[in-house]
Amino acid sequence: MEKKTLVVCYSFSNGNTRMIARQLQQALGADYAEIETVTPYPTYGGFNSKVVSQGQREVDEGFQPEIKPLSVNVADYDVVAIGTPTWWYTMAPAVLTFLNANDWSQKTVIPFMTHGGWPGHVIKDIQNCCAGAKFLPDMKIQFDSQGGANMLTSQADINAWIERVKKAI
């Protein structure tokens, strides 16, 4: 029986996490949804110190912003790939809201994250929020440390991860 698969991500600013999520979605033939906050984060003209300080404050406080309903129902899926940028060594607060709003028991989860050189404990944090889930190979994708779109992880490494995931599903 083919497992119903969803790729869901939160992506901020330059769309690095979205780009990886779309690659995975296309390779798996999965459905796609994006986590969006009800109140968008101000971009202040892009990725800069105001966004960074706001993100640090929210992570430090365990803040969980209100998110918009997804275009799909997570309960309808067997496998859910979850992507997030790293915010102060953990997942973006919007992803924490999403994880805490869903039941992960009996699900298979594929965590992946993007970072600018400091991957932190994102994958472990996702796993800790998904009680009862089975986990497939995760991936940490590095981009430049200035918040840009220059990917430092090779495309070959991403392709190899996608192939491992495809075999594991």
pLDDT at 41 over 90: no
Question: Which candidate, 116, 101, 109, places its Cα nearest to that of 82?
Answer: 109
Tell me the domains of the chain and their CATH numbers.
5-168 (3.40.50.360)
Among 26-30, 48-52, 128-132, which is the least confidently predicted range?
A: 48-52
Question: Beta strand pairing status for 108-115 and 90-91?
Answer: unpaired
* pLDDT confidence of residue 44: 56
What is the average pLDDT across 39-61?
A: 71
How many other CB atoms are there within 10 angstroms of residue 100's CB atom?
Answer: 9
Among 44-53, 76-85, 136-145, which is the least confidently predicted range?
A: 44-53
More confident of the two residues 8 and 40: 8
Mean pLDDT of the chain: 92
DSSP three-state, residue 159: helix
DSSP three-state, residue 131: coil
Helices (H), 93-151: 93-100, 122-129
Report residue 45: phi and psi, to 5°.
80, 20
Long-range contacts of 51-55, Cβ-Cβ distance < 8 Å, separation of 24 or more: 51/12, 51/13, 55/87, 55/88, 55/92, 55/93
* pLDDT confidence of residue 28: 98
**C-beta separation of 63 from 39 below 8 A:** no
The reported pTM is 0.92
Residue 31: burial class (beta carbons within 10 Å; 0-12, 13-18, 19+): middle
pLDDT, tens digit (0-9, with 9 covering 90-100), for 56-90: 787 778 879 999 999 999 999 999 999 999 998 99
Question: Which candidate, 115, 112, 110, places its Cα nearest to that of 151?
Answer: 115
